[in-house]
Amino acid sequence: MSSQTTPAAPMKAPSSGTSERNVPVKAVLISLLVILANIVVHGAIFLFFRDSGLNPLVTAFLAVLWGVLGVYEIYYSLNWAAEQYPDRVRRKVLPIIFIGPAILLLGWLVFMPALRTLYLSFFNAASDQFVGLDNYAAIFSDRLMGIALRNNLLWVFIGTLACVTLGLLIAILADRSSFEKLAKSIIFMPMAISFVAAGVIWKFVYYYQPGNEQIGLLNAIVTFFGGEPQAWTSMLQPWNNLFLILILIWMQTGFAMVIFSAAIKGVPEDILEAARVDGAGEIKIFFRIMIPYISGTILTVTTTIIVFTLKIFDVVMVMTGGQYDTEVVATQFYRQFFMYRNFGYGSTLAIVLLIAVIPVIIINLRQFRKQGGF
């Protein structure tokens, strides 16, 4: 009788689920320790810099060094802590590590001040008495605010329309020119300076002084041809706003041109050639093929420039200080909040600007999403 051997039961590998359930506990503790260590170490460094009597240059050098190495150390240590988790958890933790600090910083620097500004807008000038919606009602009954809102609309419609139209026209013409790079470089050059610097430059262009001797470029040209010098940014109301808007056009046309030029180069050449073979002229190709093809880019550039114009402040403040009926909402906010110390009304103006900008930003984000930006 042959002996029967019972086959040994195969050994079961330890359940990965059990190990994955145990590992996160250790990983969570490690993560908490890493976060706590970073808070303690960098908090101590901050207190050292705040209370030390070091030479300012030495302090500045060490602070920059700490900023660079500190950011690297924080992300390296947090990434190392994330590596202690199982794969399925790590994939969820890593985005939080790399995006979380930015979200916290935005929350601290943007969202919290916005909420506090909204809160202050319901109080009086000294922020010690609740007035409800009185500040919002005052905006639409104040004469200066009426002028500011009118001027903002001028900036939005005329400035944006001119920047987009000229940027698109120059992009089309420059792409067909043998001097494309030189032309685009010259037109884009104003983008390299700030609005404050642009205001200083154009202040000399528009400069006016009584008498025959004029050092302002525009008045020098006018008097050279026998004309009378003009106080372009003060006496010619409300046309003086258009002279200020011209500065925006000078600066932002280059931005629009570069974006449109890149979009136009993306139009398939075979479509253009097929249209030319069918007898379509260049104007018809421009309006029937190019414009529809780059319509998304046109919308993006338009909304971006609208945001600039809604928040315009620097040029007006440098050129006129908001005088001569050139006031805009941003300069009124600065004047009310920082000069007159009317915190309630100033906060209300800031909220009005925010409300005006938010829909434009939403449109921009939706357009980016359609284009696969995120």
pLDDT of residue 260: 92
Give pLDDT, residue 164: 94
In this predicted model, what pLDDT tens digit does every residue of 144-195 receive, in sequence order? 888 888 899 999 999 999 999 999 999 998 888 788 888 888 999 998 888 8
- What residues of the chain score a pLDDT lower than 70? 1-24, 371-374
d(CA 318, CA 300): 29
pLDDT at residue 372, rounded to an integer: 60
According to the model, what pLDDT value does residue 168 have? 93
AA identity, residue 178: S
